[in-house]
Amino acid sequence: MKSSLCCLAKNRAYVAMIFTQFIYAGMALLSKAAIAKGMNPYVFVVYRQAFASLALSPFAFFDRKQGAPLSYNLLGKIFLVSLVGVTLSSNLYYVAINYTSATFAAATTTTIPAITFIMAVTIRVESISVKHIHGIAKILGSIVSLSGAVIFALIKGPSIGFKNWHPSITGPHSKGDQVKGVIMMLSANTAWSLWLILQGFIVKEYPAKFRLTTLQCFFSCIQTIVLAVIVERDPSAWKLGWDIHLLSVAYCGVIVTAITYWLQVCTIEEKGAVFTAMFTPLSLVITAFFSALFWRESLHWGSVGGTILLIIGLYSVLWGKNRETEKVQNHEKTQPPKDHYKATTLDLSSQI
């Protein structure tokens, strides 16, 4: 027993990340089920952010890191970042999932590192050099990753059959609806990638991460309430019963936002962001398996090929980023003390 506990403690980062990917797979499956059974996507986001705000409030209250005073200027920045990232991304995601499958929703999340890298290079937050192998790896990885997402969505091929005993939750969609879902899902990932970049600037001004996240969830809840009231006029759409709707919003708000956030922050502090990102494809595999097995979502060989390209592209970007970080760190070690500030600046400017 003691040796088992020691082994678990030694590999806790691996266990935490595997557990996190199962949670993300559950998010895609449950949210797809709730929206497919008639829950309004905008109302779904309202309840999710409300549950998230309540779940994070105790953590925010006891957060030891003291941020800067919440001036009107800083609150305005947090409000806008919440609007661009959390509100826009979440609403696009849950509207798009009504036109696509849970598997595709999980697949497109693997494009986020590539999209973030492209946007970071565009606004000169990320540096790149085609003279080095790591720069070429990041460029090619981004292209391959996005190509994989397109192939996954548009090229089907023969179906892979699974024996199942549950009815399908994926209704028939026209080709136009599928294309609309793909565009909206990729737009949601683009908005989230922009949020990741902007988050880096906001955290520097307000380093109390739990409080910052709670504020963004709260602002997003208010913003989405306004949007949902405009779009959905039927009061019955806001009712929650003891059904899949309540389970989904509570799961996404409490489990996904609160627990996985804490697990990822702890893992990043221990192992780094690259280690954390490397587990992203696991949620796609889990989601694809359970969607096909239980809910009769069709899985095609074309999707398998697109998935392989997605994973190859993701690891290419992560490998290039890791090599670049190692090179910067080695450069810092070889520099005399007078150049330390310059090396540190270079390191910070290369982070996504």
pLDDT of amino acid 348: 27
113-129 average pLDDT score: 75
What's the half-sphere exposure (Cβ side, CA atoms, 13 Å) at 35? 25
Phi, psi (deg, nearest 5) at residue 91:
-65, -40
Of residues 102 and 129, the one with the higher pLDDT is 102
Of the candidate ranges 132-146, 188-202, 208-222, the one whose mean pLDDT is the lowest: 132-146
Of the candidate ranges 74-78, 106-110, 116-120, 335-339, the one whose mean pLDDT is the lowest: 335-339
Q: How far apart are CA 37 and CA 39, in angstroms?
A: 6
Split at pLDDT 50, 70, 90, the class of 43 is very high
pLDDT at 170 over 70: no
Q: How far apart are CA 241 and CA 10, in angstroms?
A: 42
% of the chain exceeding 90 in pLDDT: 18
pLDDT at 351 over 50: no
**Residue 171 and residue 101 in contact, taking contact as beta carbons nearer than 8 Å:** no
Q: How far apart are CA 148 and CA 315, in angstroms?
A: 13
pLDDT in tens, 75-97: 999 999 999 888 999 999 999 98
Closest by alpha carbon to 159, among 304, 311, 309? 304
pLDDT at 63 over 80: no
pLDDT in tens, 319-330: 887 777 777 667
pLDDT of amino acid 54: 92
Q: Strand, coil or helix: what is 168?
A: coil
Q: Strand, coil or helix: what is 243?
A: coil
Largest CA distance in the chain: 68
Task: Retrieve residue 250's tokens.
Answer: 């509570």
pLDDT at 174 over 80: no
312-340 average pLDDT score: 70
Q: Strand, coil or helix: what is 255?
A: helix
pLDDT in tens, 213-256: 889 999 999 999 999 999 988 888 898 888 899 999 999 999 98
Average pLDDT of every residue of the chain:
78
Helix (H) and strand (E) counts in the chain: 16, 2
pLDDT of amino acid 87: 94
pLDDT of amino acid 343: 35
Closest by alpha carbon to 128, among 302, 324, 329? 324
pLDDT of amino acid 80: 94
CA dihedral 164, 165, 169, 170 (to 10 degrees): 30
pLDDT of amino acid 241: 85
**Domain extents in the chain:** 13-317
Split at pLDDT 50, 70, 90, the class of 120 is confident
For the chain, how big is the Rg over CA atoms in Å?
A: 21
pLDDT at 344 over 60: no
pLDDT of amino acid 249: 93
The strand pairing partners of 160, in sequence order, are 299
Could you tell me the pTM of the whole model?
Answer: 0.76
